[in-house]
Chain A
Amino acid sequence: MKHFFIICSVLLALFSSQLSAQQSPVIATQTQAQLQQLTNNKLRQSLVLLQSIASREGVNMLPLYQSLLDGQLYFIKSDTKLIKVVKEAGKKHYSELFTDREITAPAKKAIKKIRVNNKIRIYLRKQIANLKLTANNPQVRQDAVQSLLRDLTPTTIANIAQLRLNEKNIEVQQMMDLALTLDSAIHGKLAVTQVSAIAQLQGNLEPQVRNTLNALNTEQSHPSVQKAAQQALLSIEQSIQFYGYLDQLFFGLSLGSVLLLAAIGLAITFGMMGVINMAHGEMIMIGAYTTYVVQLLMPNLIEYSLWVAIPLAFVVSGSIGILIERCVIRFLHGRPLETLLATFGISLILQQLVRSIFSPLNRQVASPEWMSGSWEINPVFSLTLNRLYILAFALLVFLALLFILKKTSLGLYVRAVSQNRAMAKAMGIRTARVDAITFGLGSGIAGIAGVALSQLTNVGPNLGQAYIIDSFMVVVFGGVGNLLGTLVAAFSLGIANKILEPTTGAVLASIIILVFIILFIQKRPKGLFPQKGRAAE
């Protein structure tokens, strides 16, 4: 979809530059008058006007349709002249609609946008697709045919059949053939033609194919046609079901990656240090707010903002974590209940602090272009990019943390202190300092998780609360003090949740999971992967 837009706009730019080279196109006077009427801003009339214009004009109206669809069409109030306003990297460019000549920027109040609604948008898309059947770029032609599949009128079919004769590109040919086959499946004069057309549609996952077959699978069609449609549908349904399972698996992995990100910091502060840290969620929140502030400071570089935000969030959350450890937690060592209450209090303080600084309203964190949209593998199976990146990111963070703990001297100290504080101290490790650094590390990673979560959910003062229970659940289920357990627990809970959800609904699914964990903990109080040996004491 995204590529389609990019190509469209590139093509449009080419088109308009050609047009401007030939100076302004010839437009019939009647069309001129109707273009003026568009500025009346009456939505009901607009569609009629556009239809009338389209019946007379051809490809020269493409700039009109495209800018209208993109919400870039404005007019100057004083002389109802149509202009195009393109926003690019925070700057607005004003140009004449058909010639694309730049004009001096008019005052903000002197121009008005020409609004469209869904009905008009649907119509515009259809018109643009029709006009683009003859575009130079094969990808554009293919997309145009594909978007026309939904609405195959006899004129469109005749047009496509004509163009098919001279089409050279194989992919466009296939798409055109599909359109023609669909048409003969519905309108074929003989049942035999219909049946053979249906046979060709077998295994095709385009939603339009399924709809057509569904429509043919009724009593009204010829018995042989109905039977063929039934068969074809069956094979299609089977592959849809298969991709449905893959979908579920991906959703589960993705939810798991979010749980992993949220819990991994806690796996250190709670898992390794044994601090019941109720303010963990707020560390995530601070990371998310760091992303917001970074974007605020570099509004024109949203694409790169996350790369700045990730280290910065680590530093900010990490230092706040160290501060909390130094000022509060270290005095409560070995008193879990008091730690719980104190950190809960800290979490409330941090929330209200954010409310006072940033207002209680949610803040807008933009997603970079490369993170929106989806990777379409086939018409029924696509992976959303933001989830895919976050899945990869979660694994990366996990591996990095594993490396720090297992391969660096800091990791050695951390493990030593968490296993036997007194002995570590006796060996000359400065336990107080290691405590602070460990807590900072856990908090910093929570901050990084906040950067990732800012791409998925609301950035508001309550962000952390939503994840604190899940985080504890994952850590306890995986086995306190075991990073690998956290990984396995996060993904198994995520997948289990997503398998349950379609049948039970989201509310019941989370209840079932929670009950399961309670029962599981009864049976195995130390989680999936309990600490073994002397470290367990």
Chain B
Amino acid sequence: MKIKHLISTLALSVSCAISVGAIAADTIKVGVLHSLSGTMAISETTLKDTVLMLIEEQNKKGGLLGKQLEAVVVDPASNWPLFAEKTRELLTQEKVDVIFGSWTSVSRKSVLPVIEELNGLMFYPVQYEGEESSKNIFYTGAAPNQQAIPAVDYLMNDLDVKRWVLAGTDYVYPRTTNKILLAYLKSKGVSDADIMINYTPFGHSDWQSIVSEIKKFGGEGKKTAVVSTINGDANVPFYKELGNQGVSAEDIPVIAFSVGEEELSGIDTTPLVGHLAAWNYFQSVESNENEAFIATWKAFIGDDKRVTNDPMEATYIGFNMWAQAVTKANTTDVDAVEQAMLGQTTPNLTGGIAKMNNNHHLSKPVLIGEIQDDGQFEVVWSTDSVVAGDAWSDFLPGSKDLIADWSSKTKCGNYNTVTKVCSGQK
């Protein structure tokens, strides 16, 4: 009882100290909503550090609008409902001007109603399944047409793949992505018999029978590839099992949408060499911006072995764009910044220019990389120019007529081009 009392007093005094500090100096508050504990901590801690680094860099340049930036870090603990609560806390108590955060669509869907109700502003930095566009969220990760579709095109055209295994973790992103891919593959004339779909629970660790099935499915003469939307931790035992059962990338390549440098840093990559990943950024890409970014990151984190990855680039682009938009609007008011964001451009880390489109999605290049034995990716294919993110997929019957446009004319997240009605999100 005594200890509990002590802790609550301590917590109270700490939060007092923080708010006092905040009032004393007039700052722009940046909310950081990334899980620092629980299952997603493995991925999200890095992004929290990235935002802190970007804020520090911006403050060195004199902050924004003559004010210093101040980070407000909260921990939603990989607990989806807690994401909504923490968002409310950030917006009503801390009164932050912008939030950088979330990972996984479940957490974003949980934040969505709160952020729309309180008219906040959030940047979501991870690739996702699309089928959404909110006035209050900017999506700086890839939409399916910036990752999944080009990846399938590459396999089909460059590697002559004829049979497809769509393997994913059982939740909204893989299910929707696979639905889109299924429709896309069928439109390309792939028959049902040549497609195998498999879902596994979060954190699945026993891949023996699935890998053996894939091996059988792929051993029937036609070139086979696995399109993997397997999330997070489950990838490591999956790749280990592939290696142990002797499935090499030359026989059955696996292309992954959730495996980046960070995930690979936890495993021995020798058996994975040659497997693929589709992203909009790889650490190995050579450009001046990237070199500078990697150097800053390693210095900030104080570890020469730490890697960079795609969601970090998405955070970087989102943060820079937001800073530009605030400067342009000359205020941190959400509505003004939201409008100023549209059409904003900033250099990305792969030597090109990222542009924020009217549907709150970015234009990005699509890169396909092969895993190397040092845990890095070698780019083997890339789009000639940037691809504009598509909020509503053209391959799903329910969404192909929908567009999102937040420019002054329509201001709608799901405008139906056939019936000419905005069906909800405003």
Any A CB within 8 A of the CB of B81: no
Q: Give residues 73-122 of A contacting B (CB, 8 Å).
A: 115, 117-119, 121-122
Q: Name the residue of chain A whose CB is nearest to the CB of B46.
A: A361
Closest CB in chain B relative to A531 CB, distance in Å: 31
Cα–Cα distance between A119 and B380 once the two chains are bound (Å): 10
Cβ B246 vs Cβ A456 within 8 A: no
**Within 8 Å CB of B88, what residues of A?**
none
Any B CB within 8 A of the CB of A207: yes
Any B CB within 8 A of the CB of A466: yes
Any B CB within 8 A of the CB of A40: no
Measured as residues with beta carbon below 8 angstroms from the partner, the interface class of chain B is 35 or more
Any A CB within 8 A of the CB of B378: yes
Q: A1-B246, A360-B37, A501-B209 are in contact. Are A506 and B42 (CB under 8 A)?
A: no
Cα–Cα distance between A336 and B236 once the two chains are bound (Å): 37
A-B contacts, 14 listed (Cβ < 8 Å): A117-B378, A118-B159, A118-B274, A118-B370, A210-B221, A214-B220, A251-B212, A254-B208, A255-B208, A361-B42, A361-B262, A462-B39, A502-B213, A507-B201
Q: Name the residue of chain B whose CB is nearest to the CB of A113.
A: B372
Q: A214-B220, A507-B200 are in contact. Are A384 and B370 (CB under 8 A)?
A: no
> Out of A351, A364, A502, which one reaches B209, CB within 8 Å?
A502
Any B CB within 8 A of the CB of A43: yes
**Within 8 Å CB of A364, what residues of B?**
265-268
> Out of A207, A361, A366, A458, which one reaches B237, CB within 8 Å?
A458
> Out of B39, B42, B219, which one reaches A207, CB within 8 Å?
B219
Q: Name the residue of chain A whose CB is nearest to the CB of B205.
A: A457
Sample of 11 further A-B pairs with CB below 8 A, known A254-B208, A456-B237 = A125-B250, A214-B220, A359-B45, A362-B236, A364-B268, A373-B244, A374-B246, A382-B246, A505-B199, A507-B199, A510-B201
> Out of A207, A355, A373, which one reaches B41, CB within 8 Å?
A355
Cβ B233 vs Cβ A211 within 8 A: no
> Out of A247, A373, A505, which one reaches B212, CB within 8 Å?
A247
Cα–Cα distance between A13 and B45 once the two chains are bound (Å): 46
Any A CB within 8 A of the CB of B311: no
Cα–Cα distance between A141 and B239 once the two chains are bound (Å): 30
Cβ B243 vs Cβ A372 within 8 A: yes
Cα–Cα distance between A318 and B399 once the two chains are bound (Å): 57
Q: Name the residue of chain A whose CB is nearest to the CB of B271.
A: A372
Cβ B244 vs Cβ A384 within 8 A: yes
**Within 8 Å CB of A501, what residues of B?**
209-210
> Out of A215, A355, A374, which one reaches B245, CB within 8 Å?
A374
Any A CB within 8 A of the CB of B240: yes
Q: Mark A459-481, 1 if CB is under 8 A from B, else 0.
A: 11110001000000000000000
> Out of B45, B210, B219, B237, which one reaches A506, CB within 8 Å?
B210
Any A CB within 8 A of the CB of B198: yes
Any B CB within 8 A of the CB of A498: yes
Cβ B220 vs Cβ A258 within 8 A: no
> Out of B205, B266, B372, which one reaches A362, CB within 8 Å?
B266
Closest CB in chain B relative to A125 CB, distance in Å: 7
Closest CB in chain A relative to B303 CB, distance in Å: 9
Q: Give residues 369-400 of B contacting A (CB, 8 Å).
A: 370, 372-373, 378, 380
B-side residues, CB < 8 A to A, are: 36-39, 41-42, 45, 159, 170, 198-201, 203-206, 208-210, 212-213, 216, 219-221, 233, 236-237, 240-241, 243-246, 249-250, 253, 262, 265-268, 271, 273-274, 370, 372-373, 378, 380
Closest CB in chain B relative to A107 CB, distance in Å: 17
Closest CB in chain B relative to A401 CB, distance in Å: 23
Q: Name the residue of chain B whose CB is nearest to the CB of A453.
A: B205
A-side residues, CB < 8 A to B, are: 1, 43, 71, 115, 117-119, 121-122, 125, 207, 210-211, 214-215, 244, 247-248, 251, 254-255, 258, 351-352, 355, 359-364, 366-367, 372-374, 376, 382, 384-387, 456-462, 466, 498, 501-502, 505-507, 510
Cα–Cα distance between A254 and B244 once the two chains are bound (Å): 14
Q: Name the residue of chain B whose CB is nearest to the CB of A362.
A: B266
**Within 8 Å CB of A1, what residues of B?**
246
**Within 8 Å CB of A361, what residues of B?**
42, 45, 262, 265-266
Q: Name the residue of chain B whose CB is nearest to the CB of A258.
A: B206
**Within 8 Å CB of A457, what residues of B?**
205, 236-237
Cα–Cα distance between A360 and B221 once the two chains are bound (Å): 43
Cα–Cα distance between A359 and B49 once the two chains are bound (Å): 13
Cβ A460 vs Cβ B378 within 8 A: no
Cβ A466 vs Cβ B244 within 8 A: no
Cβ B209 vs Cβ A248 within 8 A: yes
Closest CB in chain B relative to A118 CB, distance in Å: 5
Cβ A458 vs Cβ B266 within 8 A: yes
> Out of A117, A248, A366, which one reaches B274, CB within 8 Å?
A117
Cβ B208 vs Cβ A118 within 8 A: no
Cβ A506 vs Cβ B201 within 8 A: yes
Closest CB in chain A relative to B156 CB, distance in Å: 15
Q: Name the residue of chain A whose CB is nearest to the CB of B380.
A: A117
Cα–Cα distance between A247 and B240 once the two chains are bound (Å): 18
**Within 8 Å CB of B39, what residues of A?**
462
Q: Name the residue of chain B whose CB is nearest to the CB of A364.
A: B266
**Within 8 Å CB of A360, what residues of B?**
36-37, 41-42, 45
Cα–Cα distance between A4 and B402 once the two chains are bound (Å): 55
**Within 8 Å CB of B233, what residues of A?**
362, 458, 460, 462
> Out of B41, B220, B265, which one reaches A210, CB within 8 Å?
B220
